[in-house]
Amino acid sequence: MRSIVFGYQIGAIALLGCIAGTAVADALLTQAQGIFKPLPKDMATAEYPITPARVELGRALFFDPRMSLNGTVSCARCHQPSLYGTDGLPTSIGVMARDNPRNAPTVLNAAQEFIAHWRGDRKNVEDQATKALFGPPSFGEPNAESVIAKLKAFKEYQVMFKKAFPKDKDPITTANWGLAIGAYERTLVTPSPFDAYLKGNTKALSPMAMRGLSKFISTGCASCHSGAGVGGGMYQKFGLTEDYWKATGSKKIDKGRFDVTQDQADMYVFKVPSLRNVAMTPPYFHDGSVATLPQAVRIMAQVQLGKQLDDADVNEIVAFLDSLTGKLPKNFATPPVLPVGAFQTSQK
């Protein structure tokens, strides 16, 4: 009898715990749904539509190095499928081995951010793609004429541009280069377990990831890292409670958006990055100064929120961040075979 009573008691406690647990879990889901959003199916807008012809063209251009100064840089140089749309470097290295000032963020889900580049000096992915052609440490092209001449050397690109921009009399332009690559990038969405969770499937996250989510919110991370991107929606000063370069050991102090606006309020201000696929895209921060995700989480809590997280906190938050990893989109995981053709002499 005792054992039965005992069993009954344990059962009751387990049941109560379960009801309480469910209530807590439901409350967390409701809270999360108020802060975050599932990723959209794609990132098209009225102004930047996705048409199959634009996406096909943009996908080819994204992977084609032949239009760069010496034929070695495509978008995929800094946004490689194997490295989840990054280059794995602290700061990128472009054409002629020229150094870029900042870390290359992943191209995955990037089109849904409110602005492009760490300092917000590119309007959107289309603007970024076009301007990358002329960035000395990216593609390094001297002018639009040079790019256009190279594109026109490929009959297949002539046909593809015409098909992608049927109303344009002369469709091979650097603006259309950006529109096509942008259309492609607007398809690069990586839904993850966290999206399934936000849609109501509370089993999509492990208990540890849910505790991490709860801590991510209660610690204050979600006040900036929110929305569908879990970030990518606002600017913020890096180093609110102490200097970021001391905590990260960064070698070079970067004034961030101040250098764009010359506004003192923008000193050390950067775009809050999206945390989608963050577990797959080290190293971290605008300068790639931190190599591991636990360390990045620890530093963020310290310099943005004035909090010291213990190892258990960090591990749980990292478990939550792991739930933001989605599968690579098929049209990114498998690069296209490019139009056949080559230039007879080096382009340098």
- Calculate the alpha carbon distances from 159 to 105, 156, 281, 335, 344 in Å: 32, 5, 36, 20, 22
CB 74 to its own copies: min, Å: 8
- Give 237's DSSP letter: E
Beta bridge partners of 269: 237, 256
Write the DSSP string, 237-263.
ES-SSS-HHHHHT-SS---BTHHHH--
Please list every residue from 303 through 342 that binds its own copies, using CB under 8 A. Answer: 328, 333-338, 340-342
Total Cβ atoms within 10 A of residue 337: 8
Considering only 88, 101, 135, 220, the residue that binds its own copies (CB under 8 A) is: 88
Q: Does 273 bind its own copies (CB under 8 A)?
A: no
Nearer to its own copies, 81 or 220 (CB): 81
Residue 64 interacting with its own copies (CB under 8 A): yes
Is the bond leading into 137 cis (omega within 30 degrees of zero)?
no
* Interface with its own copies, residue 345, by CB under 8 A: yes
Q: Choose the stretch contacting its own copies; rule: CB under 8 A; options: 161-169, 188-196, 201-209, 283-291.
A: 283-291
Options 46-54, 67-75, 143-151, 217-225: segment touching its own copies (CB under 8 A): 67-75
CB atoms near residue 89 (< 10 Å): 15
Site string for its own copies, 108-137 (x = CB under 8 A): ------------------------------
Q: Which of 35, 53, 93, 305 binds its own copies (CB under 8 A)?
A: 93
Other CB atoms within 10 Å distance of the CB of residue 132: 22
CB of 77: closest distance to its own copies in angstroms? 8
List binders of its own copies among 217-256 (CB under 8 A).
251
Nearer to its own copies, 89 or 148 (CB): 89
Do 181 and 116 form a contact (C-beta atoms < 8 A)?
no
Which of 80/174 has CB closer to its own copies? 80
Q: Using the rule CB under 8 A, is 193 a contact of its own copies?
A: no
Distance of CA 172 to the CA centre of its chain: 28
**65: contact with its own copies by CB under 8 A:** yes
Considering only 77, 117, 150, 298, the residue that binds its own copies (CB under 8 A) is 77
How big is the CA angle at 113 (ends 111 and 114), to the nearest 5 degrees?
Answer: 120
Contact 103, 91 (CB under 8 A): yes
Closest approach of its own copies to the CB of residue 273, in Å? 15
227: which strand partners? 36
| Closest by Cα among 225, 170, 187 to 85 | 187
Contacts of 17 (CB under 8 A, 6+ apart): none
Q: Which stretches of the chain bind its own copies, using CB under 8 A? A: 63-66, 70-72, 77, 80-84, 87-91, 93, 95-97, 251, 279-280, 282-283, 288-291, 328, 333-338, 340-346
